[in-house]
């Protein structure tokens, strides 16, 4: 059973308030009434809050918090080229492979 609910009073467009009638499905009505009892808010407040949440996220990509780099002091000795560590790992893996083949 659908229920028609009067939401708010229509005023000038700059006031961003309008009077409208919605036909709400029975399952949604139960959810609204449950939320009204849980929060002790009016239907207008619950509907407006739900619409703000729903419309605020739809069609927009979620804005992630700005990523912050936390520097870490690795303690390398002077002369160690930290930009070439991947090359060092490759050389060590190659040496280990040669050692395994010759054992």
The pLDDT tens digits for 45-98 are 999 888 888 887 655 666 778 889 888 887 777 777 777 788 888 888 999 999
Asked, for residue 30, whether it belongs to a domain, the answer is yes
Asked, for residue 68, whether it belongs to a domain, the answer is no
* Higher pLDDT pick, 26 / 13: 26
Asked, for residue 29, whether it belongs to a domain, the answer is yes
pTM: 0.41
Q: Name the residue with tokens 């619409």.
A: 51
Neighbours of 10 (CB within 10 A): 11
Asked, for residue 39, whether it belongs to a domain, the answer is yes
Alpha carbon 63 to its chain centroid, in Å, reads: 7
Task: Identify the domain containing residue 9 by its residue range.
Answer: 3-57
**Domain total in the chain:** 1
Asked, for residue 72, whether it belongs to a domain, the answer is no
């Amino acid at each position: 059973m659908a229920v028609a609910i009067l939401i708010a009073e229509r005023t000038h467009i700059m006031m961003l308030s309008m009077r409208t009638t919605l036909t709400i499905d029975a399952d949604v009505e139960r959810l609204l009434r449950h939320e009204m009892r849980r929060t002790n808010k009016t239907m207008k407040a619950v509907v407006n809050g739900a619409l703000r949440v729903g419309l605020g996220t739809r069609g927009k990509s979620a804005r992630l918090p700005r990523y912050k780099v936390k520097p870490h002091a690795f303690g390398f000795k002077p002369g160690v080229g930290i930009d070439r560590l991947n090359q060092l790992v490759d050389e060590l893996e190659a040496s280990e492979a040669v050692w395994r083949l010759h054992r």
